A and B are shown apart, each in its own frame.
Chain A
Amino acid sequence: MILQVKLFAVAKQIVDSDTFEIESNEPITIGDIRDRLLAIHPRFSEVMPNCRFAVNAAYVNDDTVVSSADEIAIIPPVSGG
């Protein structure tokens, strides 16, 4: 299956795209996605520890298992207001 991760702000800047695709043949967790992003884009190392993830527009923890049906997004530290 192919999972698409939505990217915003500095994450979009690092990857130079508003989505990141991950291929996986088995169930995958948010923690796995975090590791894959870091492996492919080492420039994430500084901001990644402070990034949260959202699945279907709700914050989740790293143990959450996702599938290609889910809307996944990396949420860098927010700065609205």
Chain B
Amino acid sequence: MNGLTTDKIDTQALVDRVTTPAAGAVVLFVGTTREFTNGRQTASLDYECYEEMAKKKLSEIEQQARERWDIVDCAIVHRLGHVPLAEASIAIAVSSAHRAVSFEAGRWLIDTIKEEVPIWKKENWADGTTEWVHPSGEKRA
């Protein structure tokens, strides 16, 4: 399951969705709005997307993860629009029989989403300026 929302992400609902008797492990990744980036203060973020393609890419990436790992279930939600400090912009829940698969698949999912899905974030800096974030090639940790 994957989707886009302008509402606050209910991370517990995502965990509940992938938690089944077949799973012995559930890993939840939550990406949140950080206040300081290289010493610069963020007031909030705004996300926009190319909706049709973002939905398609999310589904493709989820399907690839399901083919590559023996996961029980997985759920991905990305938030759009205005995201205040410390709130979640993305949440990924993965369940599997044993923990290694959930950790590996979850790590791969967030890394791949950050490279492939047409979603963009705008920094609303605390000084009142705004700036679209466009990574220039080097992979971010």
Binding site for B on A (CB under 8 A): 6, 8-10, 13, 47, 50, 54, 57-58, 71, 73, 75-81
User: By the criterion CB–CB under 8 Å, are B56 and A57 in contact?
Assistant: yes
Chain B contacts for A73, CB-based, 8 A: 50, 53, 118
Does B40 touch A at the CB level, under 8 Å? no
Chain B contacts for A76, CB-based, 8 A: 120, 132, 134
Q: Which of A6, A13, A54, A81 contacts B114 (CB 8 A)?
A: A81
Binding site for A on B (CB under 8 A): 31, 47-50, 52-54, 56, 78, 89-90, 110, 113-122, 132-137
4 residue pairs, one from A and one from B, having the closest CB atoms: A80-B119, A9-B120, A57-B53, A79-B133
User: By the criterion CB–CB under 8 Å, are A80 and B53 in contact?
Assistant: no
Chain A contacts for B135, CB-based, 8 A: 77-79
Closest Cβ neighbor of B57 among chain A residues = A57
Majority secondary structure, B binding face:
mixed
Q: A8-B50, A9-B122 are in contact. Are A80 and B114 (CB under 8 A)?
A: yes
Closest Cβ neighbor of B116 among chain A residues = A78
Q: Which of A6, A57, A79 contacts B120 (CB 8 A)?
A: A79
Chain A contacts for B118, CB-based, 8 A: 8, 54, 73, 75, 78, 80
Q: A78-B115, A78-B117 are in contact. Are A10 and B56 (CB under 8 A)?
A: no
In the complex, 13 of the A-B residue pairs with CB atoms within 8 angstroms, ordered by the A residue number, are A50-B134, A57-B53, A71-B52, A73-B50, A75-B50, A75-B118, A78-B135, A79-B132, A80-B49, A80-B54, A80-B89, A80-B118, A81-B119
Query: In angstroms, how far is the closest chain A Cβ from the Cβ of B57?
Result: 8
Closest Cβ neighbor of A54 among chain B residues = B53
Q: A10-B132, A73-B50 are in contact. Are A80 and B56 (CB under 8 A)?
A: no
Closest Cβ neighbor of B29 among chain A residues = A81
Chain B contacts for A13, CB-based, 8 A: 132
